[in-house]
Amino acid sequence: AQQIVTMINVARELALRVNDNVCVKLPSPTTMSYTLGGCSGSVWIGVGTDSAGNVPLPEGVTVTTTANPVFNYLGAALPAATYTITNAQTSATLTVSVSLSGRVTIP
């Protein structure tokens, strides 16, 4: 779960750095991507992404979310979201929460 927190925080830090909105999306249950300018913007390609802008999630887990949070230039997120991380072997789950303030936590 800590790796997912780190990956979501990358989007928050990117929004602060580029002074624009950055949306966190799950193109599949095993990849994450960041889009600039909101959820319909262009996919960010950089360190850790493949040529399509996808960041692979840790092996052996799948991830779902209640929403695609968008971090603004101040680091706040809208909407808030909950990510559910499922272990592919045991089906055990953990959650990661993104609050409106932009804080990303494992409750």
User: Mean pLDDT for the chain?
Assistant: 98
24-48 pLDDT, tens digit per residue, is 999 999 999 999 999 999 999 999 9
pLDDT confidence of residue 84? 98
85-98 pLDDT, tens digit per residue, is 999 999 999 999 99
In what side-by-side order are the strands of the sheet with 93-98?
Answer: 61-65, 81-87, 93-98, 104-105
69-81 pLDDT, tens digit per residue, is 999 999 999 999 9
2-105 has which fold? minor pseudopilin epsh fold (3.55.40)
Which pLDDT band holds residue 49 (cuts at 50, 70, 90)? very high
- Degrees, nearest 5: CA angle 61-62-67: 140
Structure tokens at 70: 């968008």
Sorted by sequence, the CB contacts under 8 Å of residue 47 that are 6+ apart come out as none
